[in-house]
Amino acid sequence: MLEANQTRTRSQQWFERAQQSLVEGVNSPSRGATVYTAGPIVLERGRGSHVWDADGNRYIDFMMSFGALIQGHAHPTLVKTVSEAMAEGSHFAAATSAEVEAAERFRRMVPSAEVVRFTNTGSEATMLVLRLARAHTRRRKFLKFEGHYHGWYDPYLLNAHSHTPEQLGPVENPARIPDSDGIPPSTFDDVVLAPWNDGAALERVMRQHGHELAAVITEPIMANMGCILPRAGYFERLRELTQDCGCLLIFDEVVTGFRYAPGGCQEYYGVQPDLSTFGKALGAGFPVGAVAGPRSILERMRWSENMVLHYGTFNGHRLTMKVVAANLDLLSAENVYRKLHAVGNAAIAGLREVFRRRQVKAIVQGFGPMFQIYFTARDAIRDYRDYCQYVDTKLYSGFVHRLLDRGIYMTPSNGLHWIISTAHSDADVQALVEAADQACSGLL
């Protein structure tokens, strides 16, 4: 918890200095004053579950680089791996044994991965997976769900951020709201937009468009609106409908991969997609993405006259591949996922008890290593439209700013999520619950 004589003066100074060289003083708007009302907290170092800012204030980190730091900060094994790899040469843009070892471990953990292709980011992975799906099916259109985020590639940037309910249009024909300027309207001609987690809407859309779809892409858990879980049976029916229509089912596991189970949500829910994308937790803090699936589809990248082109100087970056292999070894150890779920479920239970006792209208949604708090009178938030209509995102931001003052590091953006890493402990959970209890005082 911050003491009375501690301030964030140096963070403010760094942010003012950053304005001279960086747009908004940051390299992504989720880090700047758009989210942090007094300006960002400038972090300088991290270890385990803790981070320290430029003023020396210590926080328990529950953001964990938006989920990338599955092993926490500066895990000793990964520090050693990076040091040794750097001493031998970080990158060659050539074939290496490191990428083979990383791929072998990946295939052992992900049930749908006959082969894998590494990219540099999750966004690159989702770009590639759409190109592969179109080449394989010889179809152009794809189905994207409201509220799902698949990176900042032009065709995906429809309805990926919250808007007022009046802007959304009818469920049967959602308004198409671009998430960025600079994208020609024709870019979205091949995008079919649909509500998510709505069985009747899914049946209707697939009857109308299924025959012309190359793919349906979905997050297994809607992670761009916090943490919204799929309804029972939804993915099983989606799997059946895509097979009936001859289109591919793509699981975007950039957020969920290697988090809920060794093979991600596809293993946890027992539904095997045709193609999958991964990122974040895969690299344990290093930039990486991956596309995985059957050889029959990924082999389309094999060099030929009609190949699916995928270049990249930094693909299979040697140092990153060393980290990936070491990280997957750590995640393969006994009881890792049992602990992740146990610590996360304890945090969820503790927060729910605080809100119940304080009589605050809030729910904690999710399970195990990822969850989100929604200030709402609803029993659950089921989809994008629920989030836009019923969640008090301003109250959430105020609540998290109070937590920041009490030594809990988290983004005030309600559309993201709380992350549990292997470094988090029962003591961290207890500190979170106590801080949340204090932050509720006078909140409403």
Q: Reduce the DSSP state of residue 274 to 3 states and report it.
A: coil
The token duo for 87 is: 């001493």
Angle of helix 336-358 relative to helix 318-331, nearest 10 degrees, comes to 80
The token duo for 403 is: 């937590």
Catalytic, 280? Answer: yes
Of the candidates 59, 149, 234, 260, the residue annotated as catalytic is: 149
Phi, psi of 87 (to 5 degrees): -65, -25
Of the candidates 252, 274, 383, 386, the residue annotated as catalytic is: 252
- Rounded Cα–Cα distance for residues 23 and 131 (Å): 32
Q: Are strands 289-293 and 362-367 parallel, antiparallel or unpaired?
A: unpaired
Catalytic, 141? Answer: no
Are the C-beta atoms of 109 and 262 separated by less than 8 Å? Answer: yes
Secondary structure (DSSP) of 310-358 = ---TTTT-HHHHHHHHHHHHHHTSTTHHHHHHHHHHHHHHHHHHHHHHH
Of the candidates 141, 144, 280, 322, the residue annotated as catalytic is: 280
The DSSP 8-state label assigned to residue 222 in this structure reads: B
Catalytic, 149? Answer: yes
Nearest to 281 by CA among 289, 293, 269, 292: 289
- Rounded Cα–Cα distance for residues 376 and 390 (Å): 6
Active site residues: 149, 252, 280
